[in-house]
Amino acid sequence: MRLEAFVRASRNAGIKLTHQRLEIFREIAASSEHPDVDTVFRKVRGRIPTLALDTVYRTFAVLEREKVLARVSLFSDKARFDPNTEPHHHFVCTKCGLVRDFYSGQTEDFRIPESVKSWGAVDAVYIELRGICRACGGNL
Amino acid sequence: MRLEAFVRASRNAGIKLTHQRLEIFREIAASSEHPDVDTVFRKVRGRIPTLALDTVYRTFAVLEREKVLARVSLFSDKARFDPNTEPHHHFVCTKCGLVRDFYSGQTEDFRIPESVKSWGAVDAVYIELRGICRACGGNL
DNA sequence: ATAGCAGATAAGAATTATTCTTGACTGGGA
DNA sequence: TCCCAGTCAAGAATAATTCTTATCTGCTAT
């Protein structure tokens, strides 16, 4: 169960296990929909009426640093656009945010899992290779 | 050449081909680094000093709608977090934004292109299946 | 070539998401 | 129980994005 991992990670990292953090974690762990910060805030506030939105942000930041959870999508803050309209993929440096295009014929071979097929129709297979670019110390 | 596609698409869509739009498109088409809106704004402003930031946003919105370019990363505006720390992938509905997790053993088989290897070290293969969920009309 | 107009633009205000500041508070070790 | 580093709430501050309004301009029909 995820709650245990959370408790364990908190102790390891020397992070205080507060009521707020517990409820925030409970909320996001209970959902399979990756709710945004504000949604979590409103839900948890039902249980802790004095909760501040900033506490939700800070809690997520801490849990992300401790790898208890991960941010969905690396490119978060600023909008970026891609003039390349052919189907292609990206290599992304998780350190500096560098993005480079690459192509692969292998997407044809990808077998869509049955579970996914039952959720809807798949139009595109997008692959993101995440790593560290040379400038940041990858492949030295 | 991309500029032609842009000019063609503009005419097709009945969009006016203004000086500003041309320069904004030139700027992003010239770069392979998917610069953010503000970077494009500053560069183009060197050539058109009266350019407004909002024009860059509007131009990208129009070009995105006309499919002349695409937004890098679907989840743009709000931060979302994922309590699932095992390696996994996502099915994303491009209409309503629904996100569901799925697993696949096939990432092991993915051959990293040589070009990518030369850019840096790859740590993870993330796959995003994009389509339309049932609720939005997929798989009817 | 020119007029007229639908659509585009600049400028700055407004909105929305996120982070910072400050002073009060608390979990948990000594 | 005391202590204090770390945490919290509240609201201000920042940053990204969008909206409003008045002015202007590309383009089609003339």
| CATH number of the domain where residue A23 is located | 1.10.10.10
> pLDDT-derived band of residue A140, with 50, 70 and 90 as boundaries?
low
| Number of domains chain A is built from | 2
**Domain boundary residue, one of A31, A65, A99:** A65
Domain assignment present for B107:
yes
Q: pLDDT tens digits for A96-118?
A: 888 899 999 888 889 999 999 99
Range of the domain at A130: 89-136
pLDDT for the residue numbered B137: 82
pLDDT of A76 reads 64
Q: What are phi and psi of A103, to 5 degrees?
A: -120, 155
Please give the residue that has the higher pLDDT: either B96 or B75: B96
Is residue A37 within 8 A of residue B79, CB to CB? The reply is yes
Is residue B9 located within the same domain as residue B60? yes
Bridge partners for B99 per DSSP: B92
Token pair recorded at residue A120: 């809807």
Assigned domain for B117 exists = yes
Give CA B136 to chain center in angstroms: 22
| A59, closest nucleotide (Cα–C1') | D7
Residue A35 maps to a domain = yes
Nearest-nucleotide field for B18 (CA, C1'): D26
Tally Cβ neighbours within 10 Å of residue A53: 13
For the ranges A32-46, A88-102, B63-77, the maximum mean pLDDT occurs at A32-46
What is the edge-to-edge ordering of all strands in the sheet holding A89-93? A99-102, A89-93, A120-133, B120-133, B89-93, B99-102
Secondary structure, 3-state, chain B: CHHHHHHHHHHHHCCCCCHHHHHHHHHHHHCCCCCEHHHHHHHHHHHCCCCCHHHHHHHHHHHHHCCCCEECCCCCCCCEEECCCCCCEEEEECCCCCEEEECCHHHHHCCCCHHHHHHEEEEEEEEEEEEEEHHHCCCC
Q: Which nucleotide is nearest to B7 (CA to C1')?
A: D26
Q: Which positions ≥6 away from A42 have C-beta within 8 Å? A: none
Residue B81 lies in a domain: no
Angle at A39 between CA B91 and CA A123, to 5 degrees: 15
B7 token code pair: 């000019």
The CB density around residue B116, as the number of other CB atoms within 10 Å, is: 19
Tell me what the mean pLDDT of segment A20-26 comes to. 94
- pLDDT score of B123: 92
**What band does B53 get if pLDDT is binned at 50, 70 and 90?**
very high
Q: How far is B77 from chain A (nearest CA, A)?
A: 7
Q: Which pLDDT value is given to residue B140?
A: 63
The whole-angstrom separation of Cα B36 and Cα B72 is 10
- Residue recorded with tokens 């979590």: A40
- Please tell me which of the candidates B32, B78, B133 has its beta carbon nearest to residue A101: B32
Rounded mean pLDDT, B28-48: 93
pLDDT at B19 over 80: yes
Average pLDDT (A8-15) is 82
Percentage, residues of chain B above pLDDT 70: 96
Contact A113 B102 (CB under 8 A): yes
Residue B14 and residue B48 in one domain: yes
- B40 CA – D16 C1', rounded, Å: 14
Q: How would residue A139 be classed by pLDDT, with cut points 50, 70 and 90?
A: low
Beta bridge partners of A36: B80
Instruction: Tell me which residues have their CB below 7 A from strand C.
Output: A 16-19, 36-38, 53-54, 57, 61, 76-77; B 14-16, 18, 20-21, 48, 50-52, 54-55, 58-59, 62, 77-79
- The yes-or-no verdict on residue A14 having pLDDT over 90 is no
pLDDT of A17 strictly over 80: yes
| Predicted local confidence at residue B139, as pLDDT | 65
Per-residue b/e over B66-93, b at no fewer than 16 CB within 10 Å?
Answer: eebbbebbbbeeebbbbbbeeeebbbbb
Q: Is the pLDDT score of A119 beyond 70?
A: yes
Residues B60, B96 within the same domain: no
- Subunit contact A83:B68, Cβ cutoff 8 A: yes
Q: Does A6 fall in a domain? A: yes
A11 & A50 share domain:
yes
Residue B101 lies in a domain: yes
| Residue B61 sits in the same domain as residue B96 | no
CA-CA distances (angstroms) from residue B134 to A33, A36, A49, A60, A113? 15, 22, 36, 31, 16
In this structure, what CATH number is given to the domain that contains residue B106? Answer: 3.30.1490.190
Same domain, A7 and A57: yes
Residue B1 has pLDDT above 80, yes or no: no
Q: What would the two tokens of residue A137 be? A: 């110390």
Answer whether residue A19 shows pLDDT above 90. Answer: yes
Q: Is B129 a residue whose pLDDT tops 90?
A: yes
Q: How confident is the model at residue A1 (pLDDT cuts 50, 70, 90)?
A: low
CA-to-C1' span, B51 to C3 (A) = 27
Query: B13 and B60 share a domain?
Result: yes
Residues with Cβ < 8 Å from A90, sequence gap 6 or more? A99, A100, A101, A102, A127, A128, A129, B72
DSSP 3-state of A33: coil
Instruction: Tell me whether residues B102 and A83 touch, CB distance under 8 A.
Output: no
- Assess if residue A97 is contained within a domain: yes
Cβ distance of A72 and B64 shorter than 8 Å: no
Question: pLDDT category, B26, cuts 50, 70, 90?
Answer: very high
